[in-house]
Structures are given as structure tokens and as C-alpha cells.
Amino acid sequence: MNLSLLMTLSRAGLIDWWRKLFNCPPPKSAPETFLREVIGWHIQAKELGGLSAVEKRQLKLGTASPTGQLAVGSRLIRVWQDQTHQVTVLEDGYLYQERRWKSLSAIAKQITGTPWSGPVFFGLKK
């Protein structure tokens, strides 16, 4: 099946394809868009190779990268006392309120007025 044909299938057709691909019925309340996206991903993964071993390991570990480092350009968002704070990850630190910072902990202290673990404050660690 190709992706353009996938877009023309009815709900019944999507359910049939789901059963063929996964050998089980789809979730009962799953919308058609979800069925199409999952089936489409499966088709592409078969053709292009799917996830790499590194990506599979990252998913199991729950990390963004093998080292646990954040990707440059990532944005961290935290609501604190009804204000939304956004931090952008840079190669050599962080950008917060148009100023470069060396650590998330320094930013967390600026926001709260008290010492915090930056990774904990921004939800990167428990």
C-alpha cells in the first residue's frame, strides 16, 4: 500500500489494514486520523528502515540523546506564579529574557528568588 491510497480508505478499510499490520484490532475509540498516522508511519518505517538502535535505546531510557543532553534550539517552558518562562538551549548555555545564562539553576533562582536545581525546576529530573 502507498500513502496516497491510505488517504482514501474508509474507517472499515483502515481497521482491516490495522489488523493485517499489527495482528490485533485497533483501539476502539481511535479516530481515523490516528489510524492513518500509525499505519502511515508503519508503511514508511518498513520502506525506510524505522528507528535506529540508538533511537530505540533513547526511547527505552527516556532521554533526548544518548548523553541526556538537550538538543540546541530546544525550548523549556515553565509556568511559575501565573507567569510563563521560556528558555532556549544554546550550544554554550541558555537564553532567557534576551540574556545568556551558563546554567538552568541560575535561571531558576532568578525566577523564584531561591536556590533550585534547574533541571528539577524545568522538569528534566525528578
Q: Tell me which residues of the chain have a pLDDT lower than 70.
A: 58, 61-68
Domain region containing 79:
75-121
Same domain, 46 and 79: no
Per-residue pLDDT, 8: 94
Cell reading at 62: 527516556
For 13-42, write each residue's pLDDT tens digit: 999 999 999 999 999 889 999 999 999 989
113 in any annotated domain: yes
Domain assignment present for 103: yes
The phi, psi pair for 23, rounded to 5°, reads 55, 35
Question: What are the two backbone dihedrals, phi and then psi, of residue 97, each rounded to the nearest 5 degrees?
Answer: 50, 50
Q: What is the pLDDT of residue 58?
A: 66
